[in-house]
Amino acid sequence: MEDLISIITPTYNCGNFIAETIESVISQTYQNWEMIIVDDCSTDNTKDVVKEYINEDRRIKYHLLQENSGAAVARTKAMELASGAYMAFLDSDDLWSKDKLARQLSFMKENKYAFSCTAYEQIDEVGKKLNKTIKTKTKTNYNGVLLSCPVGNSTVMYDVKKLGKFVVPNIRKRNDDALWLRMLKKEKYIHGMSDVLMQYRIRSNSISSNKIDLIKYHWYLYRKIENLSVIRSIFHLSCWGFIKIFKIK
């Protein structure tokens, strides 16, 4: 029997995008999945959009948090509710290629990898390609993620049987990076596929769009979550800033 893949999707006010995200899951060539959508108290029509899909497909599950708590809490709750042998992460405004799950699972099983990611491309708010592809590395360890995390959140899949479940560090931004760092303390590498299997939506009001805030959250990640020294934190922040902010436009 095929392994069940749990798709982890936190959401907040994504009523304009989440239908397309769900459609990209339904159209997967690999069909043994469950999609766990945890709503961080959206104030738009997100719940109504998701409800229409739930009525048609029992593999889609919806959970509403009691209070607005942030993406980290929503992601942790989805992971807690998951029952799959593998977990894949998909933000509620991103899109997957139709063979994403099938190809990535084969990649992991054939190579006996427990933790993987893929390359991806950027699209704008209306889904138009921006002609920018984000490549990944063949393999990345803990220090590699600290320096310049080459991991797109919605490309990640991991083997739950080998690594178990995790609590996502509760910071509002960069909590995905914090999660990969936590996982890389158990698994030496995250292995990258060169295949472009995800489309990352660039939104003008996204929580990752303010670069000054990102610098503050990276500092918090290094000092408070990872407990790095001041000198090492400055070094990693400088490397991250050059690669992510100044070098990449």
CATH architecture of 5-204: Alpha-Beta Complex (3.90)
> pTM to 2 decimals?
0.89
The residues near 171 (Cβ < 8 Å, ≥ 6 apart) are 72, 178, 217, 220, 221, 225
Residue-level pLDDT, tens digit, the chain, 249 residues: 799 999 999 999 999 999 999 999 999 999 999 999 999 999 999 999 999 999 999 999 999 999 999 999 999 999 999 999 999 999 999 999 999 999 999 999 999 999 999 999 999 999 999 999 999 999 999 988 887 777 999 999 999 999 999 999 887 777 888 999 999 999 999 999 999 999 999 977 654 456 666 777 666 677 677 777 777 766 666 666 665 555 443
Question: For the chain, which residues make up each domain, given as ranges?
Answer: 5-204, 210-249
